């Protein structure tokens, strides 16, 4: 295995904080670094351990190791009375042995709490560091490192404590790397532009809009882009729907804007883009998602149905690509993500939807054409083709009864949920997909393969 000297790998930042240790502070740490696995070494009270467990996600885990059991309160049996107790695994016995065992089990942790009052606290700290029991970006919290303040204060009460936070950071560029193997220090090692892969998926500072954002897939896209850091304009034919989703976003601390626009009308589309530019200065991410689905046998499809479908699904999408594209070409950067459909590849059945299928095939060709035409000016154009997604679009009187029939055609055995599409939109909106253009990303649980 590739071994790198740990001392070289770790840059230690120590912040001494003058506060009394409490489970609330621990909970906040757990929340802040989104910890999933925690190692506790020392005498944490049972109620504190439970408080931390409550903050963990359902698949989170705490390993609490102590030399001796504590009069019942820290016992596994007691924890099991709580619904969060299942996240706690007590390891009673010599701490050094427990640490060896966790190392042998290849465990690693997002937070390690060490009680500095423990005998051998320094050895525990060294063992954790030297044996990679810390995940990347993880934190060690060492309690009572100020020795109750006795080092520098007179007449201190026993309540005074101190907490050292030690963050494991990536290898600094000038680190001396001790390794038996050659370390290739390229972008793969450091991260492209020194940004690691999850950072490259972030959208901080980006301005996005989502048409048809008032419900269904568009709503899920708006949340995903906002969660990844973008400001999001939620655009919909129905202002009240856009406002409701914008309100959801702002409750999560995401900067949002609600706009009404009918994407089939050039003046509405221009007004939408102008309003976003007036508010946030530009547009980086355009999600052209609004679409409608009408059903009729082809021999009976009216020109009205055909035009209505094409006006929203293809003409509207073109107008949005053009209006947002002009801004993006001007600034030399942009990401356009169009919503096509699996219906661009196969003929979904038994529903009859000639105009829809043809319009979505048009979306793919439009995406490919713009993708090729604009990439050398920094604008990437891709589309997502969902399979059958459980949204209001398929809850019409004609379509709802077909769900059982569709399920038989889907290898995944279920309809898609809007959340199944969220990672794709973030990826296509991020710098991580910068070499991708004109692509049709199909997400359909395997349906187009059967």
C-beta closer to ligand NAD: residue 208 or 292: 292
Asked if 254 and 247 count as a contact pair (C-beta separation under 8 A), the reply is: no
Q: What is the nearest approach in angstroms of ligand NAD to the Cβ of residue 140?
A: 45
Output the smallest distance, CB 237 to ligand NAD, in A: 4
For the sheet with 163-167, list strands across it. 14-17, 163-167, 134-143, 109-115, 37-41, 61-66, 88-92
Cβ neighbours of residue 182 under 8 Å, at least 6 residues apart? none
Closest to ligand NAD by CB, 46 or 216: 216
Give the CA dihedral 327, 331, 334, 338, nearest 10 degrees. Answer: 20
- The CA distance from 51 to 27, in Å, is 7
Unique residue bearing structure tokens 């459909």 = 341
For ligand NAD, the closer of residues 90 and 234 by Cβ is 234
Residue 18 is among the residues annotated as catalytic for this protein: no
* Catalytic residue selected from 152, 356, 427, 435: 356
Closest separation in Å from C-beta 265 to ligand NAD: 8
- Check if the beta carbon of residue 293 is closer than 8 Å to that of residue 354: no
Task: Name the residue nearer to ligand NAD (CB basis): 33 or 402.
Answer: 402
Residue with tokens 């050398």: 376
CB of 371 to ligand NAD, least distance (A): 18
Sheet holding 334-339, edge to edge: 256-260, 231-236, 207-211, 285-288, 334-339, 379-386, 440-443
Q: How far is the CB of 263 from ligand NAD (least distance, A)?
A: 4
- Shortest CB 95 distance to ligand NAD, Å: 53
Closer to ligand NAD by Cβ: residue 55 or 243: 243
DSSP letter string over 153-194? -SS--TT---EEEEE--PPPTT----BSSPP--SHHHH-GGG
C-alpha distances out from residue 308 to 238, 264, 293, 312, 318, Å: 17, 9, 10, 6, 15
Specify whether the CB–CB gap between 382 and 433 falls below 8 A: yes
Query: What are the residues binding ligand NAD (CB under 6 A)?
Result: 211-212, 214-218, 236-238, 241, 261-264, 289-293, 312, 316, 339, 341, 386, 388-389, 391-394
Known catalytic residues are 356
């Amino acid at each position: 295995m590739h071994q790198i000297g740990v001392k070289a790998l770790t840059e230690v930042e120590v912040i001494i904080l003058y506060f009394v240790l409490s489970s609330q502070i621990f909970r906040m740490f757990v929340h802040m670094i989104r910890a999933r696995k925690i190692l506790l070494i020392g005498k944490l009270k049972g109620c504190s351990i439970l408080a931390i467990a409550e903050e963990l996600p359902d698949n989170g885990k705490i390993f609490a190791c102590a030399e001796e059991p504590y009069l019942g309160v820290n016992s596994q049996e007691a924890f099991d009375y709580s619904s969060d107790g299942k996240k706690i695994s007590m390891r009673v016995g010599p701490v050094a042995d427990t640490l060896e065992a966790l190392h042998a089990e290849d465990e690693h942790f997002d937070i390690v709490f060490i009680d500095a009052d423990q005998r051998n606290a320094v050895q525990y700290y060294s063992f954790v560091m030297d044996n990679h029991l810390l995940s990347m970006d993880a934190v060690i919290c060492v309690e009572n490192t100020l020795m109750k303040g006795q080092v520098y204060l007179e007449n201190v009460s026993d309540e005074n404590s101190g907490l050292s936070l030690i963050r494991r950071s990536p290898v600094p560029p000038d680190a001396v790397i001790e390794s038996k193997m050659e370390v290739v220090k390229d972008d793969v090692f450091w991260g492209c532009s020194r940004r690691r892969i999850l950072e490259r998926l972030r959208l901080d500072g980006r301005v996005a809009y989502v048409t048809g954002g008032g419900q269904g897939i568009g709503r899920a896209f708006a949340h995903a882009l906002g969660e990844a850091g973008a400001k999001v304009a939620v655009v919909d034919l129905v202002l009240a729907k856009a406002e409701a989703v914008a309100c959801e976003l702002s409750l999560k601390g995401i900067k949002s804007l609600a706009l009404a626009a009918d994407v089939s009308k050039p003046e509405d589309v221009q007004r939408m883009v102008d309003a976003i530019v007036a508010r946030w200065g530009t547009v980086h991410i355009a999600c052209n998602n609004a679409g409608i689905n009408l059903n009729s046998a082809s021999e009976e499809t009216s020109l009205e149905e055909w035009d209505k479908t094409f006006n929203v699904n293809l003409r509207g999408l073109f107008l949005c690509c053009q209006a947002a594209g002009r801004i993006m070409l001007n600034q030399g950067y942009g990401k356009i993500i169009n919503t096509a459909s699996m219906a661009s590849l196969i003929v979904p059945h038994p529903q009859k939807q000639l105009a829809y299928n043809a319009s979505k095939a048009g979306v793919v060709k439009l995406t490919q054409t713009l993708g090729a035409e604009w990439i050398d000016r920094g604008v990437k154009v891709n589309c997502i083709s969902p399979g059958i997604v459980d949204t209001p679009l398929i809850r019409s009187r004609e379509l709802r009864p077909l769900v059982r029939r569709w399920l038989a055609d889907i290898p995944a055995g279920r309809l898609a949920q809007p959340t199944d599409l969220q990672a794709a939109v973030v990826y296509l909106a991020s710098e991580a997909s910068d070499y991708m253009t004109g692509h049709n990303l199909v997400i359909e649980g395997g349906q187009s393969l059967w």
